[in-house]
């Protein structure tokens, strides 16, 4: 069996979610071939070898620097054909998922998105999918010989399983008519750690009373190397920028650690955080609903607890 993994990259680095896709493909068994499109340093790309890719294809044409769904679909399909790949695995992202569905249609593959863990292959090929914005899950049988799997964050454990590999140049045929959209400019939301990619998120709610109190949260975040998030009312009131709003109508996060400070834990907020590995809740109300979803909870005043927590973490460092 051979699996192709589509690699996404940003700022010269392979995205963590794509490394997880490589680890997932490796755990499926068989050969794993990674494919990256556009400009990225060969050394950075070679790191995917450490997580299980035995071969890395790099279509470095600058025309591929900005994703266009039709073009990326065509390039991935060509790579699958060249490599004789049975499966495609990629990260369930705003780019990965539409590309995956198109590749599945073109190749006649079974397609599953939002896949949460490795398949159960004891009888058929069953995958567990997260549905209804994380409020439920479904077991789905993938029946075709070819499979296209878009995985959620944390679907596979990231552990090094090999050595770095030098990328092999890949020169797909590019059809000008597929370049039907053009990125005119890109602007970064902020220079801080990207919220969707963060390993640790420190998030604040209305319990922090006002934007002037965010310093204690930011200090905790800096100490932990975390991204900052917030509840919807907080961004609606302009205390924090909208791109930090976490939840059903905001960013969905899946960090190793989510610390919620002064957030009640409304269902719409939980919909954006329930893929987190570990949730810590700090709230002065012992009956706050968030405690039901928490792995650890501290009942206390944020203005008392958070500075003490930050000091203890600094001392431990």
Does position 95 interact with ligand FAD (CB under 6 A)? The reply is: no
Q: Which two tokens stand for residue 59?
A: 């279509």
Q: How far is the CB of 303 from ligand FAD (least distance, A)?
A: 6
Does position 248 interact with ligand FAD (CB under 6 A)? The reply is: yes
Does position 303 interact with ligand FAD (CB under 6 A)? The reply is: yes
Taking residue 178's Cβ as centre, other Cβ atoms within 10 Å add up to 15
Start-to-end CA span in the chain (Å) = 45
Does position 301 interact with ligand FAD (CB under 6 A)? The reply is: yes
Q: Which is nearer to ligand FAD, 57 or 208 (CB)?
A: 208
Does position 283 interact with ligand FAD (CB under 6 A)? The reply is: yes
* Binding region for ligand FAD (CB under 6 A) out of 26-34, 147-155, 181-189, 225-233: 225-233
Q: How far is the CB of 316 from ligand FAD (least distance, A)?
A: 23
Q: How far is the CB of 302 from ligand FAD (least distance, A)?
A: 3
Q: Which is nearer to ligand FAD, 41 or 301 (CB)?
A: 301
Q: Which is nearer to ligand FAD, 38 or 289 (CB)?
A: 289
Does position 236 interact with ligand FAD (CB under 6 A)? The reply is: no
206, 214, 222, 307: residue in contact with ligand FAD (rule CB under 6 A): 206
Q: How far is the CB of 260 from ligand FAD (least distance, A)?
A: 8
- Torsion, Cα 227 72 48 80, to 10 degrees, reads 150
Binding residues among 252-271 for ligand FAD as defined by CB under 6 A: 262-264, 266, 268-269
288, 293, 294, 309: residue in contact with ligand FAD (rule CB under 6 A): 288
Q: Which residues bind ligand FAD (CB under 6 A)?
A: 205-207, 231-234, 247-250, 262-264, 266, 268-269, 272, 282-285, 288, 301-303
């Amino acid at each position: 069996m051979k699996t192709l993994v589509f690699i996404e990259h940003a700022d010269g680095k392979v995205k963590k979610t794509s490394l997880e896709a490589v680890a997932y493909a490796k755990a499926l068994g068989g050969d794993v071939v990674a494919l990256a499109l556009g400009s990225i340093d060969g050394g950075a790309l070679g790191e995917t070898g450490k997580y299980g890719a035995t071969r890395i294809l790099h279509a470095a044409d600058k025309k591929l620097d900005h994703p266009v769904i039709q073009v990326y679909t065509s390039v991935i399909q060509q790579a699958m054909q060249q490599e004789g790949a049975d499966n495609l695995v990629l990260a369930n992202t705003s780019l990965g998922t539409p590309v995956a569905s198109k590749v599945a249609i073109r190749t006649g593959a079974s397609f599953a998105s939002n896949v949460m863990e490795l398949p159960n292959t004891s009888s058929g090929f069953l995958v567990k999918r997260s549905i209804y914005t994380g409020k439920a899950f479904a077991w789905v049988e993938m029946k075709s010989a070819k499979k296209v799997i878009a995985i959620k964050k944390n679907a596979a454990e990231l552990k090094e399983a090999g050595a770095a590999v030098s990328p092999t140049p890949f020169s797909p045929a590019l059809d000008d008519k597929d370049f039907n959209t053009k990125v005119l400019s890109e602007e970064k939301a902020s220079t801080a750690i990207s919220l969707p990619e963060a390993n640790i998120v420190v998030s604040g709610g209305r319990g922090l009373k006002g934007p002037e109190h965010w310093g204690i949260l930011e200090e905790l975040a800096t100490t932990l190397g975390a991204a900052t998030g917030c509840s919807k009312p907080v961004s609606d009131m302009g205390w924090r920028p909208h791109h930090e709003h976490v939840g059903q109508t905001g960013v969905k996060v899946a960090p190793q650690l989510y610390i919620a400070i002064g957030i009640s834990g409304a269902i719409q907020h939980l919909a954006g955080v329930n893929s987190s590995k570990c949730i810590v809740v700090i709230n002065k109300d012992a009956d706050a609903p968030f405690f039901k979803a928490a792995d650890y909870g501290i009942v206390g005043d944020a203005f008392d607890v958070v500075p003490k927590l930050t000091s203890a973490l600094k001392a431990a460092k």
